[in-house]
Structure 1
Amino acid sequence: MLHTAKVLFTIIGAAGLKSFKLNEVKRKQQYIEDFHERNRFTQLQPKLWARNILNTAGVKVKVHGDLPYYKEPVLYVANHEGNFDIPVLISTILQPFGFVSKQEVEKIPFLKDWMDLMHCIYIDRKDRRSGVKMLKSAIQNLNDGYSILIFPEGTRSKGEGIQEFKAGALKMAQKAKVNIVPVVIKGTSEIMEKNDHNMIKEGIVQIKMLEPIEPSIFKEQSLQDVTTMVEHKIKNEYEKL
């Protein structure tokens, strides 16, 4: 097993070492005219950072089925099992995306600038107004062509099964009229959360991307019904992995 301090050092250290590239990435962005190519270029460094974390921790990712690349913006909806979910998904999902993160992450050295570049969004769970602001930002990002990843459970399950999805979690997809892509992730809690004192243990994380759900579904079903349906789809596949 590895101590969490070593992985934490890798996370912050890697971000710090790559921080000098931030201005270079921003500068080069300006000369890439194609939106998709510019977006992909922006996330090259975060992908390298995520893969470095997984390699340090001895985490391997097993993908079930295909991982399509969507040129149009989508809302990725995943269950949230552990702290390793984000590096696993950044390293695995082909399409660049930002994600909704708790506000505390803004305080982590070096990470915020990169997360801003990826069009991540922050939310203060204790402040209702923050939720409204997050929703507006998410809709704007989707309308601007940037995909988003959200964890509708709101917090890590730590391997204790999938928790109920929050009501209205998919409202941004409804308002922005984008496809919902359910993503199943299993095994990250075995890497960290289930271990004594959160020690890091090598292991395999499994990923499966489900068929996209078109925004026209909101014409037939309520927001809550769609949220429940996506929750059940992810739960069913999670139990099969």
Structure 2
Amino acid sequence: MIIVRLGNGTMNLKRLFKQLITGTLFAIFGLICMLGNMLFIPIVVFKLNKLKFIQNFARDTVWFSWKIFIEITRVFGYLDYKYKIKTKLGKNAQMIIANHPSLLDVVFLISRVRRANCVVKGELGKNIFLFAAIKACNYIPNTQNEELLQKAVDALKNGESLIIFPEGTRTKDEIVFHKAAAYIAVKGSKKIVAIAINMYPRSLRKKEPWYKTPDVVIKYEFKELFSLNLEDFKSQKPDPIRARELHLYMSEIYKEEFKDAKFNQ
């Protein structure tokens, strides 16, 4: 009986320690965002983000800050990660797509691609920690309308790299891509790079409280599934057909990659 109690006590202490680390990391992330707001709010108020060099400054600040934050999470033992990506990310008119298993996916990818544009959840425009950074960087809100499509296409045609999660929200039961991503790709991008994000155990899922964290280190893997030159993809066909075939192509590859995944574990 004594051994059992000690064992349970050790497990509870371990879980409490991990929750303390998680809370500390969320506090650090909030602090980074609030310090960023001191830079970004004046930029937004005076509409300086319309200037290209100011936009680049804002994106560089987010890129560097989130790169540091990811390293802090690794040092604290909260997570570990590895990249299996051969293509150099961040070249002009390059679209980067990925599945969306957790809250930190966008943090990882933006910290990996300097000065990238990104399609972000529309509600984040009202988030006290993130709204200023989103507006200063001119990230594109996922408003599910023609404005989103046009802004994304324009960004690519202007030579920006664009990160987009075709699911639109974090993966719940299965990966389901929206067709908008394929439409944006054929209309504006020269190249598309597809990344599979694997993580174990699953954590930071949709509607999951931040403190519900596993006792073990979370392992992330970023794997390149394909890199496709869109200027050559079905080039003899009209764009609506190209977009439909690209959507099917992407969906099938991701379904094959994650066919044995258990999203509810």
Match of 1:156 among 165, 170, 174: 170
Counterpart residue type for residue 213 of structure 1 = L
Deviation string for 1:9-35 (max 9, x for gaps)?
3332211123334469x99xx796xxx
Q: Does 1:176 align with 2:188?
A: yes
Could you say which residue in structure 2 is the equivalent of 1:132?
146
Task: Give the Å deviation of 1:47.
Answer: 2.6
Q: Which has the higher contact order (CA 8 A, sep 6+)?
A: 1
One-letter code aligned to 1:2: Q
Aligned residue pair count: 226
Q: Match of 1:48?
A: 64
Q: Distance in 2 between matches of 1:10 and 1:218?
A: 47
Q: Which one is further off, 135-144 or 95-104?
A: 95-104
Q: 1:231 aligns with which of 251, 254, 260?
A: 251
| 112-121 vs 192-201, greater mean Cα deviation | 192-201
CA distance in 1: counterparts of 2:200 and 2:125, whole angstroms: 23
Which residue in the other structure is 1:112 paired with?
131
Cα distance in 1 for residues equivalent to 2:39 and 2:155: 24
Residue in structure 2 matching 1:84, options 101, 104, 112: 104
With 189-198 and 113-122 compared, the bigger mean Cα shift is at: 189-198
Q: Which amino acid aligns with 1:61?
A: Y
* Alpha-carbon distance in 2 for matches of 1:189, 1:166: 26
- 1:146 matched to 2:146? The reply is no
Distance, in Å, in 1 between the alignment partners of 2:81 and 2:110 is 12
Q: 1:236 to 1:31 in 2, by over 3 A?
A: closer
Pick from 100, 105, 117: which aligns with 1:98? 117
SS at match of 2:178: coil
Q: Which residue of 2 aligns with 1:11?
A: 29
The answer for the alignment partner of 2:224 in structure 1 is 209
Q: What percentage of residue pairs aligned between the two structures are identical?
A: 21
**Alignment RMSD (CA, Å):** 3.4
* 3-state SS of paired residue (1:156): coil
- How many Å apart are 1:209 and its aligned residue? 2.4
Unaligned runs of 5+ in 2: 1-17
Match of 2:9 in 1: none
Stretch deviating more after TM superposition (178-187 or 9-18): 9-18
User: 1:164, 1:15 → 2: CA distance?
Assistant: 31
Q: 1:75 to 1:148 in 2, by over 3 A?
A: same
- Closer, same or farther: CA 115–141 of 1 in aligned 2, 3 Å: same
What's the TM-score, normalizing by structure 2? 0.71
Contact 2:81 2:220 survives alignment (8 Å): yes
**Bigger radius of gyration among the two:** 2
Paired position in structure 1 for 2:14: none
- The two structures have a TM-score, normalised by structure 1, of 0.77
* Cα 1:21/1:196, change in 2 over 3 Å: closer
Alignment CA distance shift 1:178-1:116 (3 Å): farther
8 Å CA contact 2:93, 2:189 repeated in 1: no
Please state how far the C-alpha of 1:240 moved relative to its aligned partner: 9.2
